[in-house]
Amino acid sequence: MKITVAKTDRPSGLTLIPVSDSSQQKNQYSLGEGEWIISENDAKRELHFYFDDSKNAAELADAGRLLGYKTSKFWGSDAAIDLKGVKNTTPFLRGLFMADYDLGFSKTDRVEKSEPALAVMGIEDAEHQIEIAKVEAESQLKAMRLVDLPRHVKTPEYLGEEAMRSAEKYGYSCEVWDCEKIQNENMGALHAVGKGSENPPVFIICRYHGAPNADKTHLALLGKGITFDTGGLSIKPSTNMHYMKCDMAGGAAVLASIELAARLKLPINLVAVVPSAENSVDKNAFVPGDILHSYSGKTIEIIDTDAEGRLALADALAWVRKNENPDTIIDMATLTGSSVRTLGYEAAALFTTDENLSKTLVESGMNTGDKLWPLPLWKDYDSYIHSDVADVSNLPLKPLAGSIAAAKFLEVFADNHPSWAHIDMPGMSFKDSPFAKTKSGTGYGVQLFADFMRKTIEKF
């Protein structure tokens, strides 16, 4: 999608005009949610669409995306949109930028379409707003595309290469550890997850220094990067296993977020870490009953090889805690089905003992539509990760509170960091939408982290 500032207030082509409940056109066209109509009179073509300026940023972005998705084929050349009087234009423009995202990148009969173009009228500082919306949209689309790519393309190595390409293009640093380096660094948990695959694991570390005068890391974002999850020897049922290409959605959000920070030149020092592996089955795969030696030095009893994401994150958390010691650590992962059973597809589960961090993240979630809600990390749940033979087990023997148990496991490796949060978000990262007939990536977390970074910067 190409969006520019209009050079004239009298466009020669189709003009898109928002219709609110209070506007005069509402009585003429009686439009409702998601509805639009094209009119022609006096050689003028206008597309009137329903618009509710009271919606939150995510709803406005969804409205913009759906409008572009449904109507861009009618725009023709020299189309314009008049947003005079609209209060919150940036998220709506972000949605328009996302309107032509196409899931069919592997179709052999795919027809390349001309890029839709739209000129914006009626808003102040239009060029700046368009640029912000474009970066936010492209960052979210990056996360969506990474999630939607198939397993044979999106290997751990590919994820590392993608991170390196972005860092080189947008001016931040990135290093990618290979399997040998992972072993040499004693990351026994991450290595165990990936050793059953022909595609070896990688450990991705990206750093962006937007506040060079501050001699510290303000924020560390960690994302689970399991590029495909069969469940390992504790193999998943075949039904919907093809959806497990989405098991790196947390990693995708983290990589997209550091790219966004660099492109917008946000004044924050940020590190993004993605432990990436493919959880597969072969003679080298790790086995229930194994005892793993993690980077932290703690041992882990394997109860179930399908609880692998927390193993990869355990090494990442311990590494960040020891080597970066940031003010705040947030990890994001498609970790448990339990979080979906608890909160459905409406919110991710949030775990933290830092009340201020919890409040800020919940506010950012409500602002952006990337909603999340706190669940407890009480000591009452410590027994859920007990092991008789190791320091901790990777799965509770009780078939209860699975999301809480996973968070309690990660808490061990966060090692009492005063401002750590874990976000469990499988239900939000990959779901049904008006833009596809099956589930697809949402880019959850990118706008959440963008808003959270801005709030963090305001406190400096």
With beta carbons less than 8 A apart as the criterion, state whether 174 and 143 touch.
Answer: no
Give the CA distances from residue 281 to residues 3, 157, 195, 304, 460, in Å, rounded to whole numbers and listed in that order.
47, 19, 9, 13, 48
Contact 60, 71 (CB under 8 A): no
Name the active-site residue from 236, 431, 439, 455.
236
Q: Which of 264, 255, 184, 198 is nearest to 225 (CA)?
A: 255
Token duo for residue 203:
């450990």
Sign of the alpha-carbon torsion through 145, 147, 151, 155 = positive
Distance CA 56, CA 58 (A): 6
Mark whether 65 is an active-site residue: no
Comparing CA positions, the residue from 326, 330, 366 lying closest to residue 346 is: 366
Q: What is the DSSP string of 23-53?
A: SHHHHHH---TT-EEEEEETTEEEEEEE--T
How many other CB atoms are there within 10 angstroms of residue 418's CB atom? 11
**Of 143, 211, 209, which Cα lies nearest the Cα of 172?**
209
CA distance 273 to 320: 8
Contact (Cβ atoms closer than 8 angstroms) between residue 86 and residue 51: yes
Place of tokens 């949402």: 442
Closest by CA position to 259, among listed 440, 138, 147: 138
CA–CA distance, 59 with 117 (Å, rounded to integer)? 22
Q: Yes or no: say if 405 and 381 are a contact pair by the CB < 8 Å rule.
A: yes
Q: 142, 207, 245, 310: which is the annotated catalytic residue? A: 310
What's the rounded Cα separation, in Å, for the pair 440 and 428? Answer: 10
Residue 236 catalytic? yes
C-alpha to C-alpha distance for 339 and 444, rounded to whole angstroms: 15
**Using CA atoms, how far apart are residues 160 and 156, in angstroms rounded to an integer?**
6
Residue 370 CB partners (closer than 8 Å, separation 6+): 58, 348, 364, 428, 444, 445, 446, 447, 448
Rounded to 10 deg, the angle between the 126-148 and 249-263 helix axes is 160
* Residue labelled with tokens 């992962």: 333
Q: How far apart are CA 124 and CA 393, in angstroms?
A: 57
Residue entry with tokens 């290409």? 245
Which residues are designated catalytic? 236, 310
